[in-house]
């Protein structure tokens, strides 16, 4: 599995005034380039998590000197192995493993399955089950807690979810039925509430589909960031179909929460990747309305 998350690794000279010979390697980033000598490149690629972090910090500090006005976060830097480089499959795998470790630098925690977490407080609301991705129910009021629990049962009903009508794609009626049962069990009288839904439809070219897990690394970092901001009740995404089309969706406590959760550095990196890696994308904003006593519900276009 190759990586092309944030920059590119290639042979040659950089634009920098460098003493390195022509048989060195260049790390290209959107904000500039940095060069490693051939003697240094192997330990960089084969380094452990600790050494890999040291190299990233070195890159970070060097790039910071070059472009001091641009904020660079060391834990989102990554490289791609160019097809022209003589790396075999094993070396590529080791590089990918190192990169995967590097994305965890900000959140060095183990899986929630192995942690003694309070299951009544922390809820798995996405495909990611590590601690930074769990919803803290103590940060929510009762209706949002109840809906988050009901949304655990959200299921996709169609294979053509990438292009199918949104309401028909998921088991919304079952979710609302579950919400009613949870409210009854909690002796909670439901008053009309509405929630914010974001729908992201995309298409990637065939060559990108083969490396879709690379996009997943960016997505995972952005999800942890959004979860930390608060109010992120549910996240679901599929896989690209034969034409590269896909669907992702999230449910938020409010549009304000969604806006706050989408302005962090990881989201900016993911958005930049989308501009270069997707051939098409569309964002739709919807409102989930749950009526008094949960006697009815609607999903309709969001109007500010």
Domain encompassing residue 267: 115-301
- pLDDT tens digit string along 123-159? 999 888 888 889 999 999 999 999 999 999 999 999 9
Domain count along the chain? 2
Q: In terms of pLDDT, which residue wins out, 123 or 205?
A: 123
The verdict on 119 and 250 lying in the same domain is yes
The verdict on 126 and 273 lying in the same domain is yes
| Residue 107 resides in a domain | no
List of residues 6+ apart from 282 with CB closer than 8 A: 200, 201, 202
Domain closes at, from 67, 102, 137: 102
The verdict on 294 and 243 lying in the same domain is yes
For the chain, percent of residues with pLDDT exceeding 90 = 36
Q: Which of 149-153, 161-165, 219-223, 253-257 has the lowest mean pLDDT?
A: 219-223
The verdict on 164 and 295 lying in the same domain is yes
| pTM of the predicted structure, to 2 decimals | 0.61
The verdict on 195 and 127 lying in the same domain is yes
Q: Which of 119-128, 258-267, 282-291 has the lowest mean pLDDT?
A: 258-267
């Amino acid at each position: 599995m190759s990586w092309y998350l944030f920059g590119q690794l290639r042979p040659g000279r950089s634009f920098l005034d460098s003493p390195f010979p022509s048989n060195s390697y260049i790390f290209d980033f959107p904000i500039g380039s940095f060069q490693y000598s051939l003697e240094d490149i192997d330990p960089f690629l084969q380094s452990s998590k600790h050494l890999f972090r040291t190299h990233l910090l070195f890159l970070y500090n060097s790039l910071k000197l070059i472009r001091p006005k641009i904020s660079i976060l060391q834990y989102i830097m990554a490289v791609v192995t160019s097809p022209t480089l003589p790396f075999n499959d094993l070396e590529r795998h080791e590089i990918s493993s190192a990169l995967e470790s590097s994305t965890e630098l900000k959140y060095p925690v183990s899986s929630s399955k192995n942690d003694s977490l309070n299951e009544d407080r922390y809820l798995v609301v996405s495909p990611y089950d590590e601690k930074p991705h769990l919803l803290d129910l103590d940060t929510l009021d009762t209706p949002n807690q109840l809906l988050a629990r009901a949304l655990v049962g959200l299921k996709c009903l169609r294979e053509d979810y990438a292009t199918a009508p949104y309401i028909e794609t998921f088991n919304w009626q079952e979710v609302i039925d579950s919400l009613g049962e949870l409210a009854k069990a909690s002796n909670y009288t439901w008053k009309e509430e509405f929630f914010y839904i974001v729908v992201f439809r995309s298409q990637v070219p065939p060559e990108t589909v083969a490396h879709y897990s690379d996009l997943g690394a960016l997505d995972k970092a952005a999800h942890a960031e959004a979860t930390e901001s608060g109010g992120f009740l549910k996240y679901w995404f599929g896989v690209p179909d034969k034409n590269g089309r896909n669907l992702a969706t999230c449910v938020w406590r409010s549009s304000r929460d969604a806006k706050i959760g989408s302005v962090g550095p990881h989201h900016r990196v993911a958005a930049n990747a989308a501009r270069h890696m997707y051939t098409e994308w569309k964002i739709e904003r919807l409102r989930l309305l749950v009526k008094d006593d949960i006697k009815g519900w609607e999903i309709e276009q969001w109007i500010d």
